[in-house]
Amino acid sequence: MTFNQTNPIKLHTRPLTGDWTPGEVKEAARAVLLCYRNGQFTCQTFFTQPLIGQLNRIEGLSHDADVYFRDVTLIGMGLFHVCLIGAEASVRTICSDPGFYGLLRAIDATLSETVRSRWYLETVPGGERWDVIVAMDKKAFYLANYVSLSGTRTRLHNIIVVGDRLLGRTDRQEVAIGQLTPDVIEQKDALLAVALMDSVNRVGKIDLLARVPNSDEVFLACAQNRVFEFDLWGEMTRFEELDEHVKQINSIDFNHVRSVLATSEGLFEIDIQEMPNMVRAKGLPRQIVHPELRKGFQVARYVEDPIILGIHPATGIMAKTQDDEVLLA
């Protein structure tokens, strides 16, 4: 992947009225950024389409919202895992707003068997991250980050939901696992009981947990430059290793034929093959060679929407550096 120059691209800001016309639904699902401030939901989308074949630098991202969305993932019938960033009081406010459930219904209408989640950028350096389990039928929410580990109130980070299991990392970078049940939602002040996954924690301090796109039994755990694949019972199926100069993997994303990894030393891609309940690498990891893409990255995600990119088939990578610069390649 090579680029001739960097193209600045502006964003368009649009308040969401909650009428949920087809246009609003489309913008909420395809937005680059989705946020909440003073009782108002707002999204930001591309004003014009990016230039393909060039590196696009995204400008005009909002920095003054109370709460930012990171992911909205369908995990069951009318059940969502919503990742938010903001102060706890602001997160509880947004989850109590009737418009929150209207927004989730609008996003749900854009999901399918192959597209189970929507992701968004967030622009708050060092903001508190919260994982909310939302039951649409009850209009109820559960903040899942505080759990009971060996009877002790413990905060989990980097939570993922795999099947009916909730997994997360403790402050000591150990992986803990618990089972979600309906009464968790009904008793939103209760603490979910979790236990450490010793077989996972033996590989070292875990920097990242990530879902496997075609499985509700398998997940990924990253320790430094290594990616391990485990099932929910702690059995390791396989692992991959990046260049030894990579110190940490910060995100993993898939598009059914490739995986992109945001690391401390730039962006890497791996050709993959999806198999029942697992993903197999078809080649060695390769680094995307460009001076602007060899720095530290917090996150990298595939963009495969022709409405956004203006081409079909559409393939692009949106990534945020450690310095909060957002690039689209």
CATH number at residue 314: 2.130.10.10
- Provide the pLDDT for residue 35: 96
Q: Are residues 150 and 278 in the same domain?
A: no
Please say if the pLDDT value at position 312 is more than 80.
no
- The answer for residues whose C-beta is within 8 angstroms of residue 288's C-beta and 6 or more apart is 1, 266, 267, 268, 269, 317, 329
pLDDT, average across residues 319-326: 90
pLDDT, tens only, 91-125: 999 999 999 999 999 999 988 877 888 999 887 76
Total domain count, the chain: 3
- Asked if pLDDT for residue 80 goes beyond 70, the answer is yes
Residues 77 and 126 in one domain: yes
Last residue of a domain, one of 127, 143, 159: 143
Answer yes or no: is 134 within a domain.
yes
Clarify whether residues 228 and 160 are in a common domain. Answer: no
In a domain, 205, yes or no: no
Domain shared by 63 and 99, yes or no: yes
Is a pLDDT exceeding 70 seen at residue 318?
Answer: yes
In a domain, residue 204? The reply is: no
256 or 41: which leads in pLDDT: 41
User: For residue 265, is it within any domain?
Assistant: yes
Per-residue pLDDT for 228 more than 50? yes
Same domain for 81 and 171?
no
Query: Domain containing 176: what range?
Result: 144-196
In a shared domain, residues 132 and 227: no
216 and 312, same domain (yes or no): yes
- Identify the pLDDT of residue 314: 67
Take residue 190 and report the two structure tokens written for it.
């209760």
User: Are 139 and 149 within one domain?
Assistant: no
End-of-domain residue from the set 107, 125, 143:
143
Taking residues 62-72, report their average pLDDT.
Answer: 93
Same-domain status, 311 and 237: yes
Is residue 181 situated within a structural domain?
yes
Tell whether the model's pLDDT for residue 1 goes beyond 80: no
Residue pair 327/293 in contact (Cβ under 8 Å)? The answer is: yes
Question: Has residue 207 been placed in a domain?
Answer: no
- At 211-227, the pLDDT tens digits run 998 889 999 999 999 99
* Residues 272 and 135 occupy one common structural domain: no
Residues 126 and 169 in one domain: no
Higher-confidence residue of 72 and 305: namely 72
Q: Which of 84-88, 133-137, 183-187, 251-255 is least confident?
A: 183-187
**Is the pLDDT at 4 greater than 60, yes or no?**
no
Same domain, 159 and 135: no
